[in-house]
Structure 1
Amino acid sequence: MPGDLFPETLAHPGLTILPGFAGEAAPALMAAVREIAAHAPFRRMKTPGGKEMSAAMTNCGAVGWVSDAKGYRYQASDPYTGLPWPMMPVIFRDLAQRAAQAGGFAGFAPDVALINRYEPGAKMSLHQDVDEQDFSAPIVSVSLGLPAMFLWGGAKRTDKAARIALASGDVLVWGGPARRHFHGIAPVKAGTHPLTGAARVNLTFRLAM
């Protein structure tokens, strides 16, 4: 069973890799993503400097992560619609909590899920997740669809990043001293997947507020 897979932690301290952990739930997770996107559509946000991000995104939960000329932040309403973000589906929360526990973080209670859609060529440069208020909570990241190469760096941007291949259903958990490590996604290669078509979808669960 996916929940019984042995977590890989030794090669990358602070990061737990759970291969196939979300595999069985993947179709239901994608159905929930489509429902969320019907109310809060995917969009390519711009950095404070005005550069359009290559991955499209949306959110669900009590707040959502946004980026524009005012900076990076969480807010309770979708700037595109003016409405609250869609509620986080129970299947999202349950999966995030089980994965966090498998990674050594029992009691995780995420209040937001960032949903990124990577089409071929889209990437995420090395960055830290530092817009949250409580860094004692972990990050839980779920891969769906096309494979990707996860870049796992260190506490400094200049630290050499390891390259970790991710397949659909794989889950990553990181926290503790590694909570603010730099990380990213290499450009996604062209292809198609039965679950997502010509795209990779990533769910990132956090405790933002």
Structure 2
Amino acid sequence: MTAHEFARCFYERWTEAPAPVMIRHAESIKNIDSQRGGPGRPLTARGEAQALDVSHVLLVSGHHWDVVITGPGEHVVSTSQIVSKQLALRSIVSDCLSGIDLGVLAGLTEAEMAIQQPRAWAVFQAWDRREIAMSEFVVAGKESGTSFAERVLGCLVADLRRYPNPLFVVGRSILILCANIVRSEGIFDLETFFHEEWGHCSGLFGRDRLPMGRSTR
């Protein structure tokens, strides 16, 4: 299936009951250091408190889940472990729910990018300022936006078919991808899926009686 087909399947499942819920990982050392992609890092004390706070929101929401599915990376898994403990659910790590691979920029802080990979950093900045299209955001080893979408959406669709009511814990790039697909009613657009106003959402994302874009930053 293509990214467009997976997007349609994801949206159709989103409109059914029970609707999926996604949580962005809590604050970690990666956020403090402005590190992009790469390996996971520990949560900060504030991040641990955020994970407990969002667990409380879930507990009092009246919703019930059967499993927590989490992407890899220490900060994502740690968030999932806190949430799953509070909700008394098992947690499953899904390697295909990792964030987009930034190639030679992965794991570097913005300051390190400027020094170690100045050309790739310039391309990243041009894309971030919307001076170039996503299709032009090409650096050595980077995963394409379409490949990222096909990998993530394929995994999500499979999990939504496998489990009646999963709760997902993921990174920012996945949360934005899915939020934009919902906003566009099932349309995947390579050039906008990272840049629409949903780009601000950074926390709890759900359809029924749950806040969308609840801050965890």
TM-score of the pair, normalised by structure 2: 0.29
Larger Rg: 2
Bigger share in strand: 1
